[in-house]
Chains A and B, each alone.
Chain A
Amino acid sequence: MSWTARAEILERLRTARAVDAAPVTVPREYRGPGAPPPLEPTSGDREPGDLSRLLAGRLADYGAVVRHGRAADAPALIARSLRACAARRVVVPPGTPAAWAAAVPEPLPDQPRLDVTDLAAADAVITTVAVAIAQTGTLVLDHGPGQGRRELTLVPDVHLALVTRERIVAGVPDAVAAVDPRVPLTWISGPSATSDIELDRVQGVHGPRRLVVILLDDPAS
C-alpha cells in the first residue's frame, strides 16, 4: 500500500463509522451563558449579584490573597500588596494604566521585550484580566492590553492581578462565550500547585508561588 498516512486514516475512519452510525443531537439543558447565577446546593445562601463576593471566596479557597477597594485606591493597594511580598522589580505589560505603573517601585516595561534572564530576575508581574469566573475563582487572560504575553505571568514568582467588577461573570459558560479562542488564552485558578507527593498540596511549583488579586468593587454606574 502506498497510501499516505492521511489518506489511509481517513479511509479507516470512513470504514469504521459506516458500521451502525446514528445521528446525534446534543442536549444542552445545563446552565448556559447569560442564565442567572447557578444554584449551588453546598454553597448556602447567596444573593444574586454578589458575584464579586463569590469570586473572592473562591480565590481564597485556592490560597490566593484577595484585597478589595475602589478604582481610585488601586495605586495604593498595588503599592501595599507589593510591599507585603517584598517585590521591587515588577514587570509592567504594555497597556498598563500609568497610575498603576507609577505605584511600582522598579517597573520593568516589556517594551522592548524583556529577555528570559530579566524575566527570571523579576520579583512580580502586574496585570488586568479579560474575564473572571466567580463560580470557579478563575482569571482568564487573553494577553491583550494590560496583560502582556503569556510568559510574563508565568516566570515571576508573584502575580498581582487587578479585576474590575464588570469583568466578573457567573460561570464557565459565560467566560467561554466572552473570549475569542483565536488568540491564546491562559485560565488561572490560584497559584501553581501540585499534589503529586503523597497527595500533600504544595503551592508554587513552576508558575508563580503567590497570586494576589485586587478586586475593584466600584458600584455600577
Chain B
Amino acid sequence: MTGPFPPPAPRGAGHLRGEAPFPLAAEHALADGQLRRNLRRATRTIREKRAHAVAELADWPQLRAAGAAIKDQVLAHLDDYLLQLERQVTAHGGIVHWARDAHEANQIVTGLAAAAGATEVVKVKSMATQEIGLNEALAAAGISAVETDLAELIVQLSHDSPSHILVPAIHRNRTEIRDIFLREIPDVDPALTDDPAALAEAARRHLRRKFLTARVAVSGANFAIAETGTLVAVESEGNGRMCLTMPPVLITVMGIEKVVPTWRDMEVFLQLLPRSSTAERMNPYTSTWTGSVDGQAFHLVLLDNGRSATLADPRGRAALRCIRCSACMNVCPVYERAGGHAYGSVYPGPIGAVLTPQLTGVADQPTLPFASTLCGACYDVCPVAIDIPAMLVHLRSRVTAGQAAGRWLPTAEAAAMSGLAWTMRGRRRWTWALRTARLGRLLARPGRPITWLPGPLSAWTASRDLPRPPRRSFRDWWARR
C-alpha cells in the first residue's frame, strides 16, 4: 500500500474539489450583486430566527455539551458502533454495504438500482450522495436521478449547483425559478406565476406521479442508531416521506460518522438539530425506520471517503461531530459575502473549510483553511461545539508544513513574513523600506487600491487589495514636525 493510511477521499469522483481555489472563486462570487443580496438577506433572517428558537430552551448549553460528548463517544469507538448497527439492520431484514470511497459507493447504488430494473430513481436531499456525485454516476449507467426537495429540484432543473446546504437555491429569485420551471418541466401550466405557493404547487404536481410510480428511492440519513438499527431522516416538505415509503426499494447512503450509540441520544439531537438548522421548534416531518418495513427492500450503504483519514487527526477529528445544521454558514462574514459556490465543495462555509480539506487531504484544498477571519462566531453557534477557529489554525499549519516539506522554495507568504522580520530588525533598513514603500504609489492610481504586485508578491495581491501607500510615512512626519 502506498500513500497515507487511512487514505483521503480519492480524486476523480464526487464534489469535494472545486474547479478553482477559494480566492479565485470568491473573487468571481463577490462580483455577483444578486448573490450577495440574497445571501445577506437569507443568512440574516435565519440567524435571527435561530437565536430566538435556541433562547426558548433554558437547557440549551447542557444539550450542546451532551451532543458534543455523544459524538466524541461515537468517534472513539466508531468501528464497534458500525458493527453493532450492521448487526441490527441485518437482523431486521436490511442489507448493509460498505464503501471505501465515492467510486465504490456509486458502484453499489448503481448496481442495486439497475438490478431493480429502474431507469429513474427518486432522491431525497442528501449531502452524502452529493459528495460522491451519485447523480452523475447513475446517469452514466442510463439511470436518471430525480431530486425531490424543492430547492434541489430547482438546482437540478437549472443545471446548477447548491449554494447553501439548507436552502440550496437561495441564490435564485422567484422569477428565475418560474422561468426555469417553464423551460424545464413538461406539461407545466404556461400561465405559471412567480408566487412561491404556485411554484411549490407546480413542483408537487410534477413530482407526485414520480413518487407513486418510482421503483427505487435513494436517501441520506441524519442519524443511525447502533443499539436498534434505526435510521432517522428529518425534512420539511414530505418528499422524504414519499421516497422512504412509496417505492419498493429504498437505498440509504450514509457517512460512517452519522451513527449514534442509543435511541435515547435522539432526545438530544432532535432538540439540537431543528432549532439550530431551520430555527424551528421541530421540523415538519421526522421519519424513523428499522430494517425492512412493510415488505420494502432496504439497503444501507456506509461511506468512508476520507472520514477515517479525518478521524486520524486528533486535532481535526471533531469536524466529524457535524450534524449538517448550517448554523455556522449563517453567521460567517466570509460565507455571507463569498457564497457557497466559492468553497468548491458540497460542504461550504466554516464547517466546509475544516471538513473538506480533511476529507480530501490538505494538499488538494490548501486555500480553504484560510477562508476565514477566525472571528469565532461559528464556534459559538455550533450545536455540537466544534471549535472551528482552533481547527482552522491547526489546518493552516498542516498546509504550510506540507508546502515546506514538498518544495525547495518557500511560499511567497513565508518569504514575505521572514523578509519583513529581517527588515524590522534593523533601524536603517526599516527607515529605507518605509521610504521605498512610497514608490508603491506608482502602482496605484490616485484614490484606488493596489490590486497587483510584481513577481512573488503577486501571491499577496491575488486575494487582497493593498491600500495606496501615503505620500509621507508617520516616521517622516514625526521627524520633520
Contacts and interface: CB of A to CB of B under 8 A. Distances in A.
Interface of A: 1, 4-6, 8-10, 12-17, 19-33, 38-43, 58, 61-62, 116-117, 120, 133, 135-138, 149-151, 154, 172-173, 176-177, 181-200, 202, 204-208
Interface string B39-77: 001100110000010011111001101100110110111
B79 A196 contact: no
A150 B296 CA distance: 12
Contacts of B312: 15-16, 19
Contacts of B99: 5
Contact of B308 (A12, A120, A149, A184): A12
B302 interface: yes
B285 A186 contact: yes
B169 interface: yes
B281 A137 contact: yes
Contacts of B304: 9, 12
B241 A16 contact: no
A187 B286 contact: yes
Given A5-B100, A16-B6, A25 B69 contact: yes
A196 B169 contact: yes
B245 interface: yes
Contacts of B281: 58, 61, 135-137, 189
A102 to B, nearest CB: 28
Interface string B117-145: 00000000000000000000000000000
Chain A to chain B: the 4 pairs with minimum beta-carbon distance, closest first: A207-B238, A206-B238, A12-B6, A12-B308
Given A9-B302, A26-B66, A197-B174, A173 B267 contact: yes
25 contacts: A9-B256, A9-B304, A33-B267, A40-B56, A58-B281, A150-B244, A154-B238, A176-B263, A181-B230, A185-B288, A186-B287, A189-B285, A191-B284, A193-B237, A194-B151, A196-B149, A196-B168, A197-B199, A198-B196, A199-B41, A199-B46, A202-B197, A202-B200, A206-B148, A207-B238
Contact of B266 (A16, A176, A208): A176
Contacts of A186: 241, 285-287
B69 A26 contact: yes
Given A24-B72, A197-B200, 19 more contacts: A5-B104, A9-B100, A9-B302, A15-B312, A17-B76, A30-B66, A30-B268, A30-B271, A41-B58, A120-B212, A133-B282, A150-B244, A150-B293, A177-B264, A194-B237, A198-B174, A204-B200, A205-B237, A206-B204
B460 interface: no
Interface string B168-181: 11101110010000
Contact of A32 (B7, B92, B267): B267
B40 to A, nearest CB: 12
Interface string B239-271: 101101110000000001000000110111011
A184 to B, nearest CB: 5
B69 A24 contact: yes
A7 B468 CA distance: 60
A25 B261 CA distance: 13
A6 B289 contact: no
A15 B285 contact: no
Contacts of A191: 284
Contacts of A207: 237-238, 241, 284-285
A136 B212 CA distance: 31
B432 to A, nearest CB: 49
